[in-house]
Amino acid sequence: MELTFASYNIHKAVGLDRRRDPDRILAILHEIDADVIALQEADRRFGRRESVLPLDRIEDLGHYKAIQLGHRPHSIGWHGNALLVRRHFDVVHAGVVALPTIEPRGAVRADLLAQGRRLRVVGMHLDLSGLRRRHQLRTILTHLGRTDHHCPTVLMGDFNEWSLHGGSLREFHAPWRVLMPGASFPSRRPIAALDRVVVSAEWELLEAGVHHSPLSARGSDHLPVFARLKLPKF
C-alpha cells in the first residue's frame, strides 16, 4: 500500500498578496493530491474560531473530508490544526493532544482504516520556544506510547525547528525517522525546513519533497511538504 501524506501551514488562507483566498488554498491541495493532509493555521484565531476553509468548499473537492474533532462547531480543527483524509477512509478514532504551552498550540490525532490497514496520523504546530518544543514533542510521544492498537504512524506539521538535526528533533530516537522534505519557509525564497514529517519503523520512504508551484509560492508564507510512503503486506 502506497500513500501520500502532506503538511501545509496555510497561514489562515492569507497569501503573500495579503488576500484571504480559501479557493486558492483548495486549488493547492488539489495540486498536491495527497491521501492525508495535516493543516496548520486552518482556523481564525479570534471569535468563534471558524475554519478559513468552509466545509462545503472542502466537499466540493470531491475526494476529501475533514476529520471532525467536535470542540468548536464552526471549526474543522483545534488550535488551527486540522486533518483532511480521502473520503473512503474510515475514521476509527479522532481526538486532540493537549500540549504544554502559553501560546494557542496543539496537536490532533486520528486513527484511520485504509485498505484494511489501521494507520495513525498526528498533525501539530509547535511552539517558537525551543525548550517548549521539546516538552511538546515529549508530550506527543508519551501520548502515543500510551495508546492502544500499535500501528504504523506518521507525525507531521510545522515544527518551527530551524535546526536540521538537533534541537527538539533530538526527542526522536530509533525506530522513529525524521524525514527531510526540504526548505519550506518562507515561501517566496525558502531557506528553513520548518515543516517536517516523522514516521514509525513500518514505513518505507519512496519520495519526500516540497510542493513548489506558482500557486503555492504565493498562497501562504509556507510551502507544503509531502512524503510518499509504502507499507509492506501483512
The domains of the chain, with CATH numbers, are 2-230 (3.60.10.10)
Q: Judge contact between 26 and 57, C-beta under 8 A.
A: yes
Phi and psi for 8 in degrees, rounded to 5? -150, 120
Amino acid identity, position 192: A
How many whole angstroms separate alpha carbon 183 and alpha carbon 218?
15
User: Looking at per-residue confidence, does 185 or 56 come out higher?
Assistant: 185
Closest C-alpha to 219, from 29, 74, 5: 29
Mean local confidence (pLDDT), 146-165: 94
How many whole angstroms separate alpha carbon 12 and alpha carbon 199?
27
Residue 107 in 3-state DSSP?
A: strand
Joined together, the cell numbers standing for residue 77 give: 480543527
pLDDT the model gives residue 121: 98
Segment 11-52, tens digit of pLDDT? 999 999 999 999 999 999 999 999 999 999 998 765 556 788
Distances from the Cα of 216 to the Cα of 45, 149, 212, 222, angstroms: 22, 37, 6, 8
How many whole angstroms separate alpha carbon 122 and alpha carbon 145?
13
Mean local confidence (pLDDT), 177-181: 95
Mean local confidence (pLDDT), 82-109: 89
Q: How many residues does the chain have?
A: 234
> What is the pLDDT of the chain when averaged over all its residues?
91
pLDDT band at residue 7 under the 50/70/90 scheme: very high
Mean local confidence (pLDDT), 96-114: 88
pLDDT band at residue 157 under the 50/70/90 scheme: very high
Q: Judge contact between 202 and 176, C-beta under 8 A.
A: no
Mean local confidence (pLDDT), 95-123: 90
DSSP annotation string for 183-217: --BSSSS--B--EEEEE-TTPEEEEEEE---TTHH
Phi and psi for 106 in degrees, rounded to 5? -175, 180
Q: Judge contact between 93 and 118, C-beta under 8 A.
A: no
Joined together, the cell numbers standing for residue 45 give: 484565531
